[in-house]
Amino acid sequence: MLYYLFDWLDRVWNLPGAGVFQYISFRAGASIVTSLLITLFLGKPFIRWMKQKMGMLDDVRTELGLEGASQKAQTPTMGGLLIITAIIVPTLLFAKLDNVYVLIMIGTTLWMGCVGFLDDYLKKRKGKAGLPGKYKLVGQVALGLAVGLVMVFHPCIEEPLKTTIPFVKNNEFDYTWLVSWLGSWAVDYAWVVFVLIVIFIVAAVSNASNLTDGIDGIATGVAAVNGGVLALLAWITGNVIMASYLNIMYLPNVGELAVFSMAFVGATLGFLWFNTHPAEIFMGDTGSLTIGGIIAVFAVLIKKELLLPVLCGIYLVEDLSVIIQTVACKRYRRKHKLPAGEMVPVEKRPFLMSPLHHHYQKKGQAEEKVVTRFIIVAILLAIFTLTTLKLR
């Protein structure tokens, strides 16, 4: 909204300094500062309010023997509401609200926030179960379907069926190639494949973010790193000079997403102030599902979804650790005919506990050390992701 106000003041009144709002870099900087201040100033009052209205977190499993589990049971949740507020407000203030990319990201944030909030709310009111997994998946699929269809059919989105392949010199990839076996029908039906891929990416990254949110500060810290890289990639992709220099796909108007992404970084960093060990509040599924959805949709919009396995390597290994653990335990139970309720022996599991961060906790590493090392790895992956712009 401020963009339009200062644009009017610049054109009509020639107000000195008003023209600075024309620059994405200025508005992105203002966005991260505003987001950070919102989180820091509202953090304490929000935590007190959550303790009064929703009580403490009552679904921490203390029987698993994890470090500090009993203390965590006294920590309020649903901190994702604070993150969402700190993302939406600066975006509304500093971004161009007639930009379809920005509108998609606002819709993504609010939609996944609602799905996560419903899960957290049901946990508080109806016990540990929360929202059944199939209904979370329905929400993720609905988001992926909506985003995919808008990208395909919205007139302002260019080259919807093309993306960027990392490590390849001629790095543009057309999804039509995947259905080239359809012959002349390929052009007409390639969008179906693209939409299905978007649905898969949204569900996979959102769930992986949810799994990563297991110890104080890990999901927030990793998300802040990922958000910073996505902001830079969006600015480069939307800048015709930089896109031409780096030989990557140029997308007009996508640079505006840098304003949104910097609000995302400010919100996650501000939340980390209260979420670092020992956490004063947890983000809950309201935050973790939203963060994953934002990263997934953002990457798809800027045509960098194939970089997600590298950039979000932490999410990938966390997800894989759960899959490997589940498959191995099922095979062992079936092979040895374990009765219902009997646990697979620890020494027969691939990991002491999954997701992976709990494995390291079980090995005796302090929670703070695990979180710090995961964030360091996320930073290294972020640097490597940026090198792919020239590493071909």
Is the pLDDT score of 6 beyond 90?
A: no
pLDDT above 70 (res 60): no
Based on its alpha-carbon atoms, the radius of gyration of the chain, rounded to whole angstroms, reads: 22
8 A C-beta contact, residue 148 and residue 194: yes
**With bands split at pLDDT 50, 70 and 90, how would you rate the model's confidence at 18?**
confident
**Residue 177 scores a pLDDT above 70:** yes
Q: Residue 69 — very low, low, confident or very high, per pLDDT cuts 50/70/90?
A: low
Instruction: Count how many residues are written for the chain.
Output: 392
Contact between residue 128 and residue 59 where contact means Cβ atoms under 8 Å apart: yes
Q: Residue range 30-43: average pLDDT?
A: 95
The residue-averaged pLDDT of 8-26 equals: 81
Q: In the prediction, which pLDDT does 63 show?
A: 46
For residues 64-93, give the mean pLDDT: 82
Helix residue ranges per DSSP H, the chain: 2-8, 24-53, 69-72, 80-94, 100-126, 133-153, 186-212, 218-237, 240-246, 257-275, 284-301, 308-311, 313-336, 356-362, 367-387
Residue carrying structure tokens 């090198």? 387
Query: Token pair of 10, please?
Result: 């610049």
Position 70 pLDDT exceeds 90? no
Per-residue pLDDT at 256 exceeds 60: yes
Section 76-81 average pLDDT: 90
Q: What CA–CA distance (Å, rounded) separates 81 from 285?
A: 10
pLDDT in tens, 337-380: 888 778 888 888 999 998 999 999 999 899 999 999 999 999 99
Percent of the chain at pLDDT exceeding 90 = 61
pLDDT of res. 71 = 62
392 pLDDT higher than 80: no
Mean pLDDT of 282-303: 95
Q: What is the pLDDT averaged over residues 58-72?
A: 55
**Residue 348's pLDDT is what?**
87
Tell me the percentage of the chain whose pLDDT exceeds 70.
Answer: 94
Mean local confidence (pLDDT), 286-294: 96
Contact 257, 284 (CB under 8 A): no
Residue of 289, 277, 361 lying closest to 83 (CA atoms): 289
- Please determine, for residue 11, whether its predicted confidence score (pLDDT) is greater than 80: no
pLDDT range class, residue 262, cuts 50, 70, 90: very high
Residue type at 262 in one-letter notation: M
pLDDT tens profile 296-343: 999 999 999 999 999 999 999 999 999 999 999 999 988 888 887 788
Residue 339 tokens, joined: 């009765």
CA 213 vs CA 62, 72, 315, 387, 390: distances in Å = 17, 13, 10, 28, 32
Mean pLDDT for 210-220 is 91
pLDDT (tens digit, 9 = 90+) per residue, 101-117? 999 999 999 999 999 99
As a whole number, mean pLDDT of residues 154-167 equals 87
Q: How far apart are CA 233 and CA 246, in angstroms?
A: 11
In this prediction, residue 168 has a pLDDT band, given cuts at 50, 70 and 90, of: confident
Cross-strand bridge partners of residue 164: 172
**Residue pLDDT, tens place only, 113-136:** 999 999 988 887 766 677 888 899
The band of 205, judged by pLDDT with boundaries at 50, 70 and 90, is very high
Helix, coil or strand: residue 322: helix
Closest to 333 measured CA to CA, from 322, 325, 344: 344
Q: What is the mean pLDDT of the chain?
A: 89
Q: Looking at residue 360, what is its pLDDT?
A: 92
Predicted confidence at residue 58, as pLDDT, reads 46
What's the token pair of residue 319? 């997800």
